[in-house]
């Protein structure tokens, strides 16, 4: 029954190999996209082969409102999702995430993905932000506390990475930002971009860093060795009333 199924619309090679433009996946209740796709592939050898040809990481899943869904996004019974290969012109590979301290980012893995993202890739840019132990004004930092509106921040990160990738014709853009309590030397941000040459990669890298710092809904609070602390708001220190 439609009320107990997720309706999946297929396109191009996925539709042709599945032999149908529309499939239904029975679910008991709210289901992750990853689980819906797993059930979908288990029921169709042709569709599984199409996924192998396209590459599972290149499959795009969109909801009825046009929003791109992640593999851990949840859909309800009766929902319709659109599952498709990348369009004719392709597009940059975008990866983004807001991470709690302790979750590692495989930087060399990202570099490998970036290197293989397009046959004309000629440059890869990497930026890794870390917590300073001493600020330019001489204040000694004990730790930084980053507060994040996680859902909003992840969407904004992806938006920034997509916009910068389009502006500089990048083939790959990955952006990650950490939140929680971070000490000097801890990583705060990881960005990896790839393009035809340094002429596109380096300005893209710089623009992405600046946009993330100014637009991401993440707030920083600095704690100092002397026991004092300050909020960093709009590029300035705001100390609590004494």
pLDDT in tens, 221-237: 999 999 999 998 887 88
Mean pLDDT confidence for 78-91: 79
Q: Average pLDDT over the chain, rounded to whole?
A: 90
What pLDDT, on a 0 to 100 scale, did the predictor assign at position 87? 64
Q: What is the pLDDT of residues 146-183, one digit of tens each?
A: 999 988 999 899 999 989 998 998 999 999 999 999 99
1 has a pLDDT exceeding 50: no
81 — pLDDT class (breaks 50, 70, 90):
very high
Lowest mean pLDDT among 11-20, 23-32, 112-121, 166-175: 112-121
Predicted local distance difference test score (pLDDT) of residue 147: 94
pLDDT: is 87 or 46 the higher one? 46
Tell me which of 57-61, 130-134, 187-191 is least confident: 57-61
Q: Which of 48-57, 58-67, 169-178 has the highest mean pLDDT?
A: 169-178
Output phi, psi for 63, to 5 deg: -90, 180
The confidence band for 58, taking pLDDT boundaries of 50, 70 and 90, is confident
Does residue 79 register a pLDDT over 60? yes
Domains of the chain are 2-84 (3.10.20.30), 93-235 (3.90.1170.40)
pLDDT (mean) for 15-34: 94
Asked whether the predicted pLDDT for residue 242 surpasses 60, the reply is no
What's the burial of 108, exposed, middle or buried (CB within 10 Å: 0-12/13-18/19+)?
Answer: exposed
pLDDT value for 60? 84
> Is it the case that residue 45 has pLDDT exceeding 70?
yes
Q: What is the mean pLDDT of residues 41-60?
A: 90
Banded pLDDT at 88 (limits 50, 70, 90): low
The stretch 206-226 carries a mean pLDDT of 94
């Amino acid at each position: 029954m439609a009320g107990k199924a997720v309706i999946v619309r297929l396109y191009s090679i996925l539709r042709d190999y599945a032999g149908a433009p529309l499939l239904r996946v029975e679910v008991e209740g709210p289901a992750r996209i990853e689980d819906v796709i797993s059930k979908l592939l288990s029921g169709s050898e042709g569709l599984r082969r199409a996924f192998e040809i396209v590459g599972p990481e290149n499959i795009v899943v969109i909801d009825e409102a046009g929003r791109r869904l992640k593999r851990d996004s949840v859909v309800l019974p009766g929902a319709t999702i659109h599952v498709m290969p990348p369009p004719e012109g392709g597009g940059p590979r975008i990866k983004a995430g807001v991470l709690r301290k302790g979750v590692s980012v495989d930087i060399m893995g990202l570099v490998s993905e970036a290197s293989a993202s397009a046959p004309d890739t000629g440059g890869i840019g990497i930026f890794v932000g870390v917590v300073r132990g001493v600020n330019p004004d001489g204040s000694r930092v004990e730790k930084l506390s980053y507060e994040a509106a996680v859902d909003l921040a992840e969407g904004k990160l992806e938006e920034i990475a997509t916009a910068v990738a389009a502006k500089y014709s990048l083939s790959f853009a990955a952006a990650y930002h950490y939140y929680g309590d971070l000490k000097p030397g801890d990583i705060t941000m990881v960005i990896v971009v790839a393009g035809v040459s340094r002429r596109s990669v380096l300005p893209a890298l710089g623009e992405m860093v600046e946009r993330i710092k100014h637009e991401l809904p993440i707030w920083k609070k600095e704690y100092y060795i002397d026991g004092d602390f300050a909020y960093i708001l709009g590029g300035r220190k705001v100390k609590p009333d004494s």
